[in-house]
Structure 1
Amino acid sequence: MNTTFSTDNRQGSPLVSFIITYHNEPADMLHACIESILALSLGDSEREIIIIDDGSDVSPVSFLTDCIDEVVYVRQRNMGLSQARNRGIDMAHGYFIQFVDADDAIIAPPYEQCLDLVRYQQADLVMFCSSDTSETTFTPVSVSPVSGSHFMRESNIRAAACGYLFARRILGSLRFEPNIYHEDEAFTPQLLLRAERVFNTPYKAYYYRARHDSITRSSDQDTISKRLDDTLTVLTQLYRLTDKLSPADRPAMERRIAQLTMDYLYNTIMLTRSAKKLDATIDALRQQGLFPLPDRPYSKKYTWFRRLVGNAIGRRALLASLPLLPRH
């Protein structure tokens, strides 16, 4: 059953659509998330807050009575984060889109600087950082735009989609892949390649609450296996996409694929501690044309890791020396 509540009768398009995805998070965190958006300098006609309740056990609406007039609330059967975000995208009217997880929040002072970039600098996409606290100090800086392709050729990107304020028009048909973990890894690089004016800011404008029950902290073996399998799926999809890219965009995507492949191998070691699993992973990557890692000077860490993982002795050293993950 789908239910929609909206008292939004504004004319025209808002500047920003905030898409909040919700699934069984504490209602007080969702309330704080909404309040952090309402605290921004955006007027009523400049913002749109869309809450996609992805089949929570209990609807949070009764906890939002004081701000329900400020939001569009949609409750749908549980279909996962990707489908919830995709529905939010399809509903959004804003010139720009900002994803926010229901248990996180926007940090107003630095985020205002990001808003100024979309207001006055014709930004296609603004990048910012997360913080583990809602309190932050910052100094405004001057940031020059580059294309998303240029940025990806020169820098490692952060995958989390919540770290980007971007123009809705650059999306086109791009949506999140359903039913996989690490959906941001597939979405974000494609989004960046569509942006011509990217502003990479140092502002810690997003309050991220690390939760002990998150997927990335799970020690459940089925969850770990799905995480690793889904990463390979994303890698394969991005690799196949490179043939369709322009000569300028292809090196940018190749760098991202190499970085993600390194992360995949690193996580295989850290999460399984198994030489057999590591060898099987390398065989799977080799079959897809993703191994050995390309000899590129992307970063010192990449160069170091590529050399070690490229031979049997180095792989044994990695299995023995990398620290064990804490179990939660």
Structure 2
Amino acid sequence: MAPCQTPVPPAPVMPLISFIITYYDEPLPLLAECVRSVLRVRAMMTGRGMSEGAFEIIVVDDGSMVSPEDALRQMDRGIRYIRQENQGLSAARNAGLALARGEYVQFVDADDALLPRAYCSLCPRSALDADIILFRFTTRVPQTPPAASGEKDTRCPGKAATAVPKPMESGTEYLLRHNMRASACCYLFRRSRLGKLRFATGLTHEDELFTPLLLLRMHSTRDIPAAAYYYRQRTHSITHTHTSQQRSRRLDDLMDITRRLRNAASTLPPLEKAALTRRVEQLTGDYIYNVYRLECDPARRSHRMATLAGEHLLPLPVRTYTPGYWLYSLMLRLPHPWPDCLMRLLTHKTRLENTTG
């Protein structure tokens, strides 16, 4: 399939924000809901004195069976639409970045949506004084339509949009002091700071690799504790896959990402190295939890843990990043066979809570 792009005359002024929506075979009503949420943000901000040209909407179709172009044209003829062969989420986002002209970039997955009132609290000119704006997501939206097919109704309320911003710090300082959210959709960032950084293709959990490297490039962050993004939990997503092959791929990719970040940290100055190493330690803890949660074969589980030890990622440093990390770091220091027994018991209990909760 040859890439094709709907020609749209370029705006004479650089847009303030490029919204990059990535789409692949999601139900058209979900894409429409997503696009309309961005259009509502634009309408609210133009009502506050900004021009429509301040907002650029790019939809990257990653080789869907049926093109949504006609539906997009009916919603807004200014939407920039590109269709390419199926290459995965990373390649689709990279294609959007190649088209983007905005001062800032916002990623949106086609089955999610922005929460317009909360999002508008992030993007007045007076608030865009940082290289990157950090905000929250929620899985619960007040007065949402009934759950679509494949959607799990396990939502929880988000924080109010009127929350007070926290003091600014650099991206490196943020990584040193806070537990970052991996999803690239929870960040509105200055495009010029991106440099040559792009999403790695061929990986699941690509955000785990991209986002910490993105934060390291940011000279200033603005953390606004507002739930401005609706994340729709769907059973077909990569985080809800259940076959043995899919579980193994998830674990292999998480290990690959941990290695890549550790190798990147080894090349950095001391402060940046410490910040990224902190994230590597957290990811190692996440990986261990997922090994015990997803790997059913004891021999393969032992092999994965031995690999961590052989690459000097074990023992985990005793830190209080999260209660779970702290507990794992202590349990894994116990003599054999206690670590394996306790980790299996803990992850089994968590699975039961997730199933019955």
Identify the TM-score tier after normalising by the shorter chain: over 0.9
| Alignment gaps of 5+ in structure 2 | 143-157
Deviation digits for residues 20-66 of structure 1, max 9, x if unmatched?
00000011111111111111115321011111100101111222232
Alpha-carbon separation, structure 1, partners of 2:7 and 2:233:
31
Deviation digits for residues 240-287 of structure 1, max 9, x if unmatched?
011211111111111100111100010111112443233211111223
Task: Check if 1:124 corresponds to 2:131.
Answer: yes
Show the counterpart of 2:200.
177
> Aligned letter for 1:256?
R
Q: Report the more deviating stretch, 156-165 or 299-308.
A: 299-308
Show the counterpart of 1:69.
77
CA RMSD of aligned residues (A): 1.7
Show the counterpart of 2:16.
15
Alpha-carbon separation, structure 1, partners of 2:238 and 2:322:
28
Alpha-carbon separation, structure 1, partners of 2:128 and 2:171:
16
> Aligned letter for 1:10?
A
Please state whether the residue corresponding to 1:115 is helix, strand or coil. coil
Deviation digits for residues 288-323 of structure 1, max 9, x if unmatched?
222221233433332211111234312211112322
> Aligned letter for 2:120?
E
1:10-89 equivalent positions in 2, closer than 5 A: 10-40=11-41, 41-42=45-46, 43-89=51-97
Query: Contact 1:6 / 1:69 at 8 angstroms: preserved in 2?
Result: no
Show the counterpart of 2:227.
204
Show the counterpart of 2:214.
191
| Alignment gaps of 5+ in structure 1 | none
Query: Contact 1:2 / 1:74 at 8 angstroms: preserved in 2?
Result: yes
Alpha-carbon separation, structure 1, partners of 2:333 and 2:26:
42
Show the counterpart of 1:112.
120
Deviation digits for residues 68-125 of structure 1, max 9, x if unmatched?
4121000000000000001111111000000000011110111111113x64452100
Task: Check if 1:213 corresponds to 2:236.
Answer: yes
1:266-281 equivalent positions in 2, closer than 5 A: 266-281=289-304
Please state whether the residue corresponding to 1:203 is helix, strand or coil. strand
> Aligned letter for 2:38?
I
Q: Report the more deviating stretch, 190-199 or 301-310.
A: 301-310
Query: Contact 1:17 / 1:92 at 8 angstroms: preserved in 2?
Result: yes
Alpha-carbon separation, structure 2, partners of 1:259 and 1:120:
31
Alpha-carbon separation, structure 2, partners of 1:180 and 1:226:
9
Aligned residues: 326
Please state whether the residue corresponding to 1:241 is helix, strand or coil. helix
Task: Check if 1:316 corresponds to 2:317.
Answer: no
TM-score (norm 2): 0.87
